[in-house]
Amino acid sequence: GQLGMGLAEMLRKQYGTDNVILSDIKKPPPHIFRSGPFVYADVLDYKHLRELIINNQITWLVHYSALLSAVGEANVALARKINITGLHNVLDLALENCLRLFVPSTIGAFGPSSPRDPVPDLCVQRPRTIYGVSKVHGELMGEYLHHKHGLDFRCLRYPGVISVNTPPGGGTTDYAVQIFHDALSTGHHECYLRPDTRLPMMHISDCHRATVEFMQAPECQLSLRTYNIAAMSFTPEEVAQEIRKHLPQLKVTYSPDSVRQTIADSWPVRFDDSNARRDWGWAPAFGLEELVVIKLVYQP
């Protein structure tokens, strides 16, 4: 999906093309198919996953398959299956085969009763979406198996990720990808959130680098198994203002979508990532200004 393809590219540069296998249930674009090993794998098919792990001598597993927040609310039964049953398959296989396992979490793992500005790593988590509920479940199951059976489970709570050329998968922060595309094509963006909706965001290259650095960190450096990571927080109005410094004609209209606005209003506006910075040296490279320059000038 949006994140897997770029992460594979980064890992392949470090570990060799043939040592990183991408998988999905969807046919990938031709350039991805040509870029290295790709296999069909359904997270709901336990036996086939086990066969892939054993036949390919897998040692690390990055589990990205999920239905995201907005798509999940539209299909709760499927989200429950993929995000919870699929995760259980992956956890069991990782334990059985001594894999190092990475599972991402999200700002969506918090809810209206969590502290919002900033939200720390450890606090009340009562999300109101099936996506958030499944992510809290993932955090807890992974940590439980780590403490009880020594599973090398690692989890980062990603902010909204702003990708370069892969389309977003139906999350609440997708507008922050679309606005750049619209600014460069039609010059008009219709935003499904209110102009003052502040959410944590991150450029995709920071997200991939955080993931790789965290996966490589020695176990003894980790005081937690689930960390917040932050880079910037902005509102639609602020990102539009920043884009207008380069494209003054950008027009943004607002037509809040009740599902996504309600989700966004229940999420924190800023992550406290001080534990990640202290334990394994996390530091983002992109703030809002750098993000806008790179999106408009270098990697539209």
Ligand X SMILES: NC(=O)c1ccc[n+]([C@@H]2O[C@H](COP(=O)([O-])OP(=O)(O)OC[C@H]3O[C@@H](n4cnc5c(N)ncnc54)[C@H](O)[C@@H]3O)[C@@H](O)[C@H]2O)c1
Active site positions, annotated: 131
Only one of the segments 166-174, 179-187, 224-232, 235-243 lies at the binding site for ligand X (rule: CB under 6 A); that segment is: 166-174
Q: Which of 6, 72, 104, 142 binds ligand X (CB under 6 A)?
A: 104
Burial 14-30 (b: 16+ CB within 10 A, else e): eeeeeebebbbeeebee
**Tokens of residue 113, six digits:** 């009763």
Residue 92 near residue 35 (C-beta atoms within 8 A): no
Q: Which of 8, 62, 68, 136 binds ligand X (CB under 6 A)?
A: 68
Q: Which residues in 71-90 contact ligand X (CB under 6 A)?
A: 82, 86
Write out the DSSP string of 9-39.
HHHHHHH-GGG--EEESSPPPHHHHHHS-EE
> Amino acid identity, residue 119?
V
For ligand X, the closer CB: 66 or 101: 66
C-alpha 95/C-alpha 38 separation (Å) is: 23
Site string for ligand X, 122-161 (x = CB under 6 A): ------------------------------------x-xx
For ligand X, the closer CB: 38 or 254: 38
For ligand X, the closer CB: 4 or 142: 4
Q: Which of 64, 102, 180, 267 binds ligand X (CB under 6 A)?
A: 64
Write out the DSSP string of 224-284.
-SEEE--SEEE-HHHHHHHHHTT-TT-EEEE---HHHHHHHHTS-S-B--HHHHHHH----
- Residue 220 DSSP one-character state: G
- Counting residues that bind ligand X (by CB under 6 A) gives 25
**Tokens of residue 296, six digits:** 């408009």
Closest approach of ligand X to the CB of residue 228, in Å: 11
20 binds ligand X (CB under 6 A): no
Residues in touch with ligand X (CB under 6 A):
1-4, 24-26, 41-44, 64-66, 68, 82, 86, 104, 106, 158, 160-161, 169, 171, 173
